[in-house]
Amino acid sequence: MNSRKRFLRGSILAGAVVILLATSDLFAGRIRHFVPQQPQVHLQHRPKDANPYHVQFRDVAHEAGIHFRHERAASPEKLYLETMGAGVAWIDYNQDGYLDAFFVNSGDTPYFHPAQPPQPALYRNNRDGTFTDVTAGSKIHADGTFYFGVAVGDYDNDGYPDIYMTGYRHSVLLHNNGDGTFTDVTAKAGVGNDGNWGTAAGWFDYDRDGKLDLLVTNYVQYDEDHPVSCGEDKPGYRAYCHPDSFHGTSMRLYHNNGDGTFTDVTQKAGLVNNDGKSLALVLADLNNDGWPDIFIANDTQRNFLYYNNGNGTFRDATYSSGAGFSEDGRPEAGMSADAADVMNNGLLYLFVSHLDFELNRLYRNNGDGTFTDDTIASGLGQTNILNSSFGARFFDFDNDGWRDLLVINGHILDNIPLYHPEVTYAEEKKLYRNVGDGTFVDATRTQGADFRAPRVGRGLAVGDYDNDGWLDFLVNNNGQDAQLFRNDGRNEPAARGNHWLGVRLIGTKSNRDGNGAHLKLVAGDLTSYDQVKGGMSYMSAQDPRVYFGLGGHERVDSLQVWWPSGLKETLSNLPVDSILTIVEGTGVAQARRYAGIPGPK
- CB neighbour class for 324 (10 Å; exposed up to 12, middle 13-18, buried from 19): buried
Model confidence band, residue 54 (pLDDT cutoffs 50, 70, 90): confident
pLDDT of residue 53: 60
pLDDT of residue 368: 96
By three-state DSSP, how is residue 138 classified?
A: helix
Is 173:162 a contact under the CB 8 Å cutoff?
yes
Q: What is the mean pLDDT of the chain?
A: 89
Residue 207 CA to residue 312 CA, distance in Å, equals: 6
Residue 363 CA to residue 354 CA, distance in Å, equals: 14
Residue 429 CA to residue 407 CA, distance in Å, equals: 6
pLDDT of residue 595: 57
- pLDDT tens-digit series, residues 338-348: 999 999 999 99
- pLDDT tens-digit series, residues 235-285: 777 888 888 888 999 999 999 999 999 999 999 999 999 999 999 999 999
pLDDT at residue 600 is higher than 80:
no
- pLDDT tens-digit series, residues 209-239: 999 999 999 999 988 988 888 877 777 778 8
Tell me the average pLDDT across 527-551: 97
Model confidence band, residue 494 (pLDDT cutoffs 50, 70, 90): low
Q: Tell me the CA end-to-end span of the chain in Å, nearest whole number.
A: 52
- pLDDT tens-digit series, residues 287-310: 999 999 999 999 898 999 999 999
Tell me the average pLDDT across 357-369: 92
Which among 262, 127, 271, 250 is positioned nearest to 203, based on CA atoms?
Answer: 262
In this prediction the pTM is: 0.91
- 282-293 as b/e: b if 16+ CB within 10 A: bbbbbbbbbbbb
Model confidence band, residue 351 (pLDDT cutoffs 50, 70, 90): very high
pLDDT of residue 514: 98
Task: State how far the alpha carbon of 38 is from the alpha carbons of 33, 178, 197, in Å.
Answer: 7, 40, 40
pLDDT of residue 16: 37
Tell me the average pLDDT across 337-358: 93
Catalogue the E-assigned strands of 37-85: 57-59
pLDDT of residue 322: 92
- pLDDT tens-digit series, residues 563-575: 999 999 999 999 9
pLDDT at residue 589 is higher than 80:
no
Amino acid at 134: V
- CB neighbour class for 19 (10 Å; exposed up to 12, middle 13-18, buried from 19): exposed
